[in-house]
Structure 1
Amino acid sequence: MKPQKKRNKSLEKFARSPVIIRNIMFMFLFNKIYGLKKKKAVFTSFGGKWYSDNPKAISVKLHELYPEFEIVWLFKNPEEKQAIVPAYVRTIKSDSVKALKELATAKFWVDNFGKSKYIYKSRSQVYIQTWHGDRGFKNVLHNVPKNIKKHYLEEKKCDLMTAGSTTGKKKLSTAFVYHGPFLEFGSPRNDQLIEDSQKRKNDIKDKLNIPVQAKIVLFAPTFRKVNKGEKQCVREINLTQVLLKLKDLTNCDWKCLVRAHPGSSPGLSLEKNKDQNIIDVTMYEDMADLLLIADLLITDYSASAGDFVLKKKPVILFQPDRERYLIEERTFYFNIDESPYMVAKSQDELIEKIIVLDEKTAKKNCEEILSFYGAYETGKASERVVEYMHSESC
């Protein structure tokens, strides 16, 4: 009797959800009436917030290699993206009826965040999940202890995932309870880190009004629940002191870019970090660009650390609140103290780590971190995904 009662409650909950029913019915009808466009792909990044990350890298490469493909992006505020996205991209408001039609008639879906399980996907459609942190610290989805065991669309409907390491593949398999195929050539967003184009770096600096010759330290703290819906506050770190020490050690001019997590409200509360050489780049569209131009990364628990080491430049984890973070926020996939990462738990420790840094030490440390993860980034991940899409469209 109990299993039957559970089923009945689930059906009642579904019946009380007109939006869910509408979405599924509309997508089913759109799919059957209009059919599929074999050379059409719909992209979404971070739930429609950004034109960025792995989906952007694939989108750009798809147009470069196969310009006949129709490329659609779903955004929460598409009008704000008109000046950012290329002319060949059509922008549609996410969670709209038009978005449902685009999804229902596209051969390919590409996402880095996850889709609602209450949408219709035909057997002829291809869903590619790239996620947004192959080598992240924080447990996600089913890997979170005491997580409510719910189903994700990816478990049953995803056709392909990308991975850049043995660690990343294992994480995605268990987090989504996914048993399908992987393209194991890297994370598409990291291709440009491996290519390391000087022209690309100069263009990004120019866009940010930063002198080409300036050195960059990027400070990228991750999300805290306390910051949800408000500005992310930066208290424990003194970035002015960091810049002064770097200038003293290298005899170069340094700028500090500070990027809050996209889950926080726009902007940062920098408190004692008000300095003309400290620039808030929270609203810069793509984190991959900032990693490309950085010469030093300071973060806490962000997956960006596992990407940045591809540049063989120094990364320091600044974690003055780790014990509190583990209690109040998230648990980790591994014990950070048993990993090769350089960790500072105070401002004094951070300065000490900076003082002993040199090119040879940083390179060796990055290689140890990549080995720790079992990384296999090739610089060709976007191309491999695009070639897969092309073969499936024929």
Structure 2
Amino acid sequence: MEDFSRIFPYSGQNKAFNVFFYIEDGRETLPLRMHTINLTSTNLGFPKTEKLLTQIGKAFKESYFSLKPIIRRIYCMYSILYKRRRKNSVLFMSEQNTEIISNLKAVSEQMKQRNLDKEFHILYSARKFSADKRNLKVWFKELKALSQSGTIFIDDHAPLFDWLKLDKDQRVIQLWHAGAGFKSSGYSRWGHLGCPAPQSCHRQYTYGISGSKNIAHFFSEVWGINDENVLPTGMPRMDEYLDENHKKQKIAELYEQFPICKGKKVILFAPTYRGKNNKDAYYPYELIDFENLYNICGDEYVILFKMHPWVIKDISIGPKYQDKFLDVKTYPKINDLFYIVDLLITDYSSNIFEYSLMRKPMLFLLLIKFNILFLEDFIELMKNPLLEKYVIHLMKY
């Protein structure tokens, strides 16, 4: 029976569930015993005694006066004051962007077009959690909006909900930003590096959405919710993306904003990040041979580089290359860029699904395909040219 036992690490592999089977003496049943244990690193040497100041610092961090307990009490206070407003209040909330965009914006605008803003009080909260997590003024503003909202829409991971339990009469609806689920994330990584804790933001979702009923089960696995709670509504932002008037307007704006693209074939390099999460996200720029890539572009091509928002270090484009290379990381909507792009080069990013609607070619630069967990067979799914060498080779395809 011991052969069926397993340890499932989570929380950065600092904790784990230890699941094991055994048969109790004198019983004919097969009970399942599951214990939660804390994993700690160790060595063969004598344990070191921490300095007094280090011990005091750790104790203070874990004490009653740490930030999280204070925020929980502020939320409880606000909930008492504003709970009566929840029936007619809706919050569009992002902890990954400083403005409401993508699916959040699309749903918000649809509510206004249908005059639902006269029936509901629509609230907004947008901030970058990593930048504002110590700003109490921002906390007060967000908690006030949160406490008076009966329905909360988010479109990405909300770190606040990892440790702040919402009231039972509040609903969280996840309008996930990615168009389809093919990369392993959330609870589909159970037992692997990067798996969330058993109680996390995902477990507070009342509903989530998916692009179609055929992929809904991927999202229920990622979020740890029932299949029936994933609604196959399609992606709200697609209405704007496929609107011909919007397309014409954005093409004109893009050529005005990026005149380097006029009269050229445009290549967009938009890979996802490397690393475990937003804290250590990076991209190996050393694999890009700028000199040779620049020469191959000739007079025909220009290349736009749009790195994942989590990649802190920007790509460095020297003055010599700036007539053909352009960093567009700060441009807010990658979907709008697709209108003027002739070739997308990416790897495991979900931007491929939106781009495929333009019916233009794609190339996939796979640098670490054996280190990525997928919900589907990625190689079979793509059925496109796969590049496993330096970016320099992309122009030869």
In structure 2, relative to structure 1, the CA distance for the partners of 1:5 and 1:231 (3 Å cut) is closer
Partner of 1:102: 145
1:193 matched to 2:235? The reply is no
Query: What residue is the counterpart of 1:357 in the other structure?
Result: none
Q: CA deviation at 1:124?
A: 3.5
Amino acid at match of 1:125: Q
Mark the CA change 1:181 to 1:94 in structure 2 (over 3 Å): closer, same or farther.
farther
Give the equivalent residue in structure 2 for 1:304.
351
Distance 1:38 1:216, change over 3 A: farther
Partner of 1:236: 287
Indicate the SS of the match to 1:268: coil
1:259 counterpart letter in structure 2: K
| Shift in Å, 1:118 | 2.6
Q: Which one is further off, 231-240 or 116-125?
A: 231-240
Partner of 2:379 in structure 1? Answer: 337
Equivalent residues of 2:293, 2:392 under 8 A apart = no
Q: Name the TM-score, length of structure 2 as normaliser.
A: 0.68
Q: What is aligned with 2:269?
A: 219
- What is the aligned counterpart of 1:322 among 356, 368, 380? 368
2:180 counterpart SS class:
coil
Aligned runs of 1:255-294 on 2, under 5 Å?
255-270=302-317, 274-294=321-341
Deviation at 1:104, TM superposition (A): 0.9
Residue 119 of structure 2 is aligned to residue 70 of structure 1 = no
Q: Residue type of the partner of 1:121? A: L
Identity of aligned residues (%): 20
Which amino acid letter does the alignment assign opposite residue 350 of structure 1? L
- Using a 3 Å threshold, how does the CA distance of structure 1 residues 241 and 41 change in structure 2: closer, same or farther? farther
Paired amino acid for 1:351: M
Describe the superposition over 1:33-54 as per-residue Cα deviations: whole angstroms up to 9, x where unpaired.
2222555433234534554332
Q: Which runs of 5+ in 2 are unaligned?
A: 1-17, 19-32, 38-58
Alignment match of 1:150 (pick from 176, 188, 198) = 198
Query: Could you give the per-residue CA deviations for residues 320-340 of structure 1, whole angstroms, max 9, x where no partner exists?
Result: x235xx33xx32223322224
Contact kept in structure 1, 2:174 and 2:207, CA below 8 Å: yes
Deviating more after overlay: 42-51 vs 196-205: 42-51
Check 1:236–1:313 CA distance in 2 against 1; reply closer, same or farther (3 A cut): same
Counterpart check, 1:60 vs 2:103? no
SS, match of residue 321 in structure 2: coil
Aligned residue runs from structure 1 range 17-28, under 5 A: 18-28=66-76
- Opposite residue 220 of structure 2, the aligned amino acid is S
- C-alpha distance in 2, partners of 1:240/1:21? 53
Greater relative contact order, per chain length (Cα 8 Å cut-off, separation 6+): 1
Distance in 2 (alpha carbons) for counterparts of 1:4 and 1:170? 26
Residue 107 of structure 1, CA deviation: 2.9
CA pair 185-74 structure 1, distance change in 2 beyond 3 A: same
Closer, same or farther in 2 for the Cα pair 1:59/1:299, shift >3 Å? same
Q: Which amino acid aligns with 1:104?
A: S
**1:206 corresponds to which letter in structure 2?**
E
- Which residue of structure 1 lines up, in the alignment, with residue 23 of structure 2? none
Larger radius of gyration: 2
Change (3 A) 1:173 1:6: closer
Structure 1, unpaired ranges of 5+: 81-91, 354-394
Question: Offset at 1:100?
Answer: 0.6
Deviation track 1:195-233 (CA, whole Å, cap 9, x = no partner) reads: 242123322443444556554321112111299568744
Q: Tell me the distance in 1 between the aligned counterparts of 2:312 and 2:209.
A: 29
CA deviation after TM superposition for structure 1 residue 194, in Å? 2.5
| Amino acid of the structure 2 residue aligned with 1:43 | F
CA contact (8 A) 1:261 1:282 kept: yes
Structure-2 change in CA distance of 1:228 and 1:127 (3 Å): closer
Question: How far did 1:62 drift?
Answer: 3.2
| CA distance in 2: counterparts of 1:209 and 1:107, whole angstroms | 46
Distance in 2 between residues matched to 1:190 and 1:241, nearest whole Å: 37
The yes-or-no answer on 1:174 pairing with 2:260 is no
Q: How many Å separate the matches in 1 of 2:317 and 2:185?
A: 28
Q: What does the per-residue CA deviation read over 1:214-255, in whole Å, with 9 as the maximum and x for residues that have no partner? A: 54321112111299568744343457766876778xxxx543
RMSD of aligned C-alpha atoms? 4.0
**Pick from 253, 258, 269: which aligns with 1:203?**
253
- TM-score if structure 1 supplies the norm length? 0.69
Question: Structure 1 residue runs of 4+, over 6 Å off?
Answer: 2-7, 12-15, 239-248
Q: Which amino acid aligns with 1:322?
A: I
Q: How many residues align?
A: 327
Cα distance in 2 between the residues matched to 1:182 and 1:230:
29
Question: How far is the alpha carbon of 1:304 from its aligned partner?
Answer: 0.8
Is the alpha carbon distance of 1:283 and 1:266 closer, same or farther for their aligned partners in structure 2, counting shifts above 3 Å? farther
Looking at structure 2, the residues matched to 181 and 94 of structure 1 have their Cα atoms a distance apart, in angstroms, of 35
- Work out which of the residue numbers 132, 140, 161 in structure 1 matches 2:185: 140
